[in-house]
Structures are given as structure tokens and as C-alpha cells.
Amino acid sequence: MSEESANIYEAPEAELTQQNTSGNKPILNFDRFSAWGVFFLSLITLGIYSIYWLVSRANKANALAKHQVNQNLIYGYIAIYAINFVLAFTDISEVLSAIASIISLIVGLVFIFSLRTSLKELINEGSNEPVHLSGILTFFFYAIYFQYKINEAIDNQK
């Protein structure tokens, strides 16, 4: 019996973090997807796709950027969003629903602007001309605006 098959119950070892395969242009690790697609999928799924989009891009940005979005902030936002979503469709308490909405808004803004800082770093790294991400457009159109800027950066750096 060989040494490799000695312990069949041992967990396999693998590299779980994504390596930067595009040299000094980390934004090229992001997928190019239509901003209109983000808009319509968010509309059809009642905003759930935008949460998925934010979480997936935050995890990818955390693997590539120096400024990272706190994982507790990501999970806390998901939990508060789920609670707020359930309370919106039930008649448990209007006060509880209002409190959950306010907390969801505050945590969401912190999460979105933290992701904005990471994306700005990734977009401008390896770029000749720095890109500005507007705070106002981030506030109103976060996922759609971020995807538009990611697409723009990918097109400029290819």
C-alpha cells in the first residue's frame, strides 16, 4: 500500500483563494456582465439578485484588493436584509419592520461604500488614468453603477 492512499479519510488539500491571473490589472479577474442584466434581474427577483451580486463581488474584491470588506458586515447585511424581507410580507409589527428597515439601510450603506473603496482600488490599479466612482450614483444605483464601472474598466484595460 502506498503512502498516498494510507489515510483515505484525510481531507484533500487545495488552494481555496483565487490567484490574480491578470498581472497588474486585477479588475480583469471580474466577469463582464451587462449593467442592464443586473437591473432586470434585480427587478425580477425583488432585489435579491442585487444582494447576490454585492456579496459575490465583495468576496472577489476581498481576494484581490488590499482594502477588504469586513466579512461580518457582509453576513450581517444578508441577515438583516432577510429579516427585513420577511417582515415586509408579514403583519407582525409595523414598528419592528421600520426599525429593521432603518438598520438595513445603515448597514447596507456602510457595506456598499466599503465595497466602493475596494472596487475603486482594483479599477485604478494598473490603469493609466484614474477612475472616479461617484458617491451619489453609488448611493442610488449601487449594483448597476458598479457593474457599469467594472465593464468600463475592463474595456479600457484590454
The Cα 23–Cα 20 span in angstroms is 7
pLDDT at 127: 72
pLDDT in tens, 2-31: 555 677 787 777 666 555 555 567 777 888
Output the pTM of the full model. Answer: 0.77
pLDDT at 70 over 80: yes
Packing angle of the helix pair 35-44, 48-64 (nearest 10 deg): 130
pLDDT at 138 over 60: yes
Strand, coil or helix: 157: helix
pLDDT in tens, 51-62: 999 999 999 999
Confidence of residue 89 (pLDDT cuts 50, 70, 90): confident
DSSP conformation class of 29? G
Confidence of residue 74 (pLDDT cuts 50, 70, 90): very high
Taking the chain, what is the end-to-end CA distance rounded to the nearest angstrom? 51
pLDDT at 154 over 80: yes
Confidence of residue 116 (pLDDT cuts 50, 70, 90): very high
Q: 14 vs 85, which has greater pLDDT? A: 85
Average pLDDT over residues 34-56: 92
The amino acid sitting at 19 is: Q
pLDDT at 145 over 80: yes
Q: How crowded is residue 144: how many other Cβ atoms within 10 Å of its Cβ?
A: 19
pLDDT at 125 over 70: yes
pLDDT, averaged across the chain: 85
Packing angle of the helix pair 48-64, 135-157 (nearest 10 deg): 60
